Structure 1
Amino acid sequence: MSSYVEVPQAVATAPAPAPRVPARDRYFDFLRALALFRVVLYHLMGWAWLPLAFPSMGVMFALAGNLMSRSLKRPALQVVRGRMRRLLPPMWLLGAVGITGMLAQGWGPGSEGHPAWWWGHLLFWVVPLSDPPYAAGLPGIHHVLGDNWGANLAEPLWYLRAYLWFVLLSPLFRAMLRRAAWPTVLAPVALCALLEFVDLGLPGRVDSALTDFATFGACWILGMAHQAGVLRKVPGYLVPSLAPIVMALGYAWAVHGGYSVTGSTELDSIPLAQALWSLGSVLLLLHISPSWAQWPAPLRRWDRVITLLNSRAVTVYLWHNLCILVAATVWDDLWSIHALAGAGKFLNSSWPVLAVTWFLVGLCVLCFGWVEDVAAKRAPRLFPV
């Protein structure tokens, strides 16, 4: 007997329901995409006011902490292992490309003064509990890659190191939030102040890791606290009243440290100011947290771009610095073309370099982004939009 069962036409042709995106997640996806765009823009343009306009790193850590807190409804060891599995393979691919290139240009065991140290430090390219080593001062590739490209390749890796430590400590943060929420949120800021005023004489690797933890730890823990409902217990008027004060304190300390929106001192070089400004900004952004049942009209046209940036956030962040260097190198070489001698104003502009940078970032997403799918145990896709 045939097993065929006729299905009514109305049911047979009904379209499959679209995947449902939680309303608040749309807002968080928008913030993450905006943060990534701002990071690329800042690293190319160098405008000192951009970290004030939108503190990307604080926002990215807060969103990651929020997601981590949501995931910790499952067993902690399983969650930590899953986060590490998603984080590390894209870095391993970057390391495979970067280390191969650095070795080809003569980098090796003698570079750090002692071969055993070099081999030991290479393990930080596997698990970045500290800064992975790189070859400083390498010559570039003519017409393609500028000098000192190894430093540009490794510069974004501090974020992965800080992210990994936050992931490992998140089960402890969660337990502390249940006992004393706001002291736990503010503890990294207190540590940042201690590091600002007291020289603890720590080794360089330890000091850099502890400074990054103190600078952005409050944002990560605040993201966890938001997911746990801590902000909902605060009177509605309190956050909009206190957050600007925290930001003002951060700005005042930044000015005290030599920062100005037109100067050469970056906000990132003043950790306590960065910590306070980021904490205040993240407080406001999480307090707003609109529930977008659908994208607001101005953002609907950007839906696919926002989705792509969120799906390939690690790839974009890891490769964007190298893309900027390649774009700037290629663009500078245009000055040698005689036919473009009269286009000095155009060649001096950084906006075309930004366009070339994003084109190269797109190529990196095509070539390397699939690793994020494999790490997440999904079917690899070229453009997950």
Structure 2
Amino acid sequence: VIRGRLRRLLPPLWLLGAIGVTGMLAQGWGPDAEGHPGWWWQHLLYWVLPLSDPPYAYDVAGIDGFLGASWPEELAGPLWYIRAYLWFVLFSPLILRGLRRLPWPTLLAPLALAVVMRLELFSTTERLDSAITDFSTFGACWVLGMAHQEGVLKRLPAYVVPSIAPLLAGAGLWWASHEGFRNGFDLDSIPLAQALWSFGCVLLLLHLSPTWTEWPKRLRAFDRPITLLNSRAVTVYLWHNVCILAAATLYDRLWSVDALSENVPWLLESWVPVLLIAWALIALCVLAFGWAEDVAAKRRPRLWPDGRR
């Protein structure tokens, strides 16, 4: 199972890295970027096996009119999830063994770790700290999914989950308010609040989730787009940030058209056209790079796998 998960995850990442690292090298990034050439070469291996965050260029020219100078950051930024997912997969056999022997301590262990990280009871390196923080923040949901599959949650009386899930989610919101919500209402900067809120919501959704042998009639219209997104989930995730940046950069060029900037400035300030352009670019990425997911899954490569024969 672990080998199959890694095989499906890593080839799309390698394709992204081959294109992204080549582009950064072409724009002047190199071994002296971090001040320690040996470290640079070592860290470059994280593009092959992302046990930690892959490195990227901080100061490049970008592509005028198409990609802003922050494109390497947008390219590498989402890879924290790939790193966290990889660790979840590697630890899954140990987690599964713990669930079968000590289900409730195993289920609550990531939340306890989130509390420990918030109290700052020990210090680590920056790379290790980010890995532990992500594991403690989202690990409870990963373990919760495994507990659901193992039937652990079914052993609870029917009233327990609807009773405690809102309390856990509410505790997350309370802690976020205690922290002043920091950056707006983004819980990413408040790991403990995110852990509690996510655990409570996922717990409730797993309790309420229906089991369908086929799509209900009123939802059948969503079958093809959902099938496509499921088949290209890794591609969409890996490339979406760059597509958003490219869409914003391209749309900003329209400010140089006097007829538009003078007559419809409200349209140029709207986020809706940028969203539509971003989705169009994501569709192009699905066509251009999505085949890597088929190769990784040992399927015949397809351009647009939405379930149609």
TM-score by length of 1: 0.78
In the alignment of these two chains, the number of paired residues is 305
Shift of 1:199: 4.7
The answer to which structure, 1 or 2, has the higher relative contact order (CA under 8 A, 6+ apart) is 1
TM-superposition CA deviations, 1:152-206 (whole Å, max 9, x none): 0000100010000010000000100001112111101100110001252210000
Which of 172, 188, 204 is the aligned partner of 2:126? 204
- 1:266 is displaced (CA, Å) by 2.2
Most deviating of 164-173 and 332-341: 332-341
Match of 2:140 in 1: 218
> Alignment partner for residue 244 of structure 1, among 166, 170, 177?
166
Q: Does 1:332 align with 2:258?
A: no
Q: Provide the rounded CA distance (Å) in 1 between the counterparts of 2:44 and 2:171.
A: 40
| Correspondence for 1:353 among 248, 270, 274 | 274
Q: Per-residue deviation at 1:293?
A: 3.0
Match of 1:318 in 2: 238
Deviation, structure 1 residue 301: 1.2
8 Å CA contact 1:249, 1:273 repeated in 2: yes
State the shift of 1:351 in Å: 1.2
Aligned to 2:51: 129
State the Cα distance separating 1:139 from its structure 2 match: 2.2
Determine whether 1:97 maps to 2:19: yes
- Give 1:375's aligned residue: 296
* CA apart distance, 1:265: 5.7
CA distance in 2, matches of 1:294, 1:176: 34
Deviation at 1:294, TM superposition (A): 2.7
Alpha-carbon shift at residue 298 of structure 1 (Å): 3.7
1:139-288 map, 5 Å: 139-259=61-181, 264=184, 266-288=186-208
State the Cα RMSD in Å: 1.1
Distance 1:240 1:265 in 2: 25
Residue deviations 1:122-147, cap 9 Å, x none? 11000000011000132221110012
How many percent of aligned residue pairs carry the same amino acid?
A: 64
- Distance in 1 (alpha carbons) for counterparts of 2:126 and 2:213: 47
Q: For the residues of structure 2 that align with 1:359 and 1:297, how far apart are their CA atoms?
A: 28
Of 286-295 and 150-159, deviating more is: 286-295
SS of the residue 1:301 aligns to: helix
What is the one-letter code of the residue matched to 2:267? F
Of the structure 1 ranges 238-247 and 135-144, higher mean CA displacement relative to structure 2 is found in 135-144
Give the match for residue 309 of structure 1: 229
Gaps of 5+ in 1: 1-78
Which deviates further from its counterpart, 100-109 or 141-150? 141-150
Does the 8 A contact of 1:258 with 1:265 survive in 2?
no
Query: AA paired with 1:377?
Result: K
Write the letter of the residue equivalent to 2:35: G
Rounded Cα–Cα distance in structure 2 between residues aligned with 1:298 and 1:340: 41
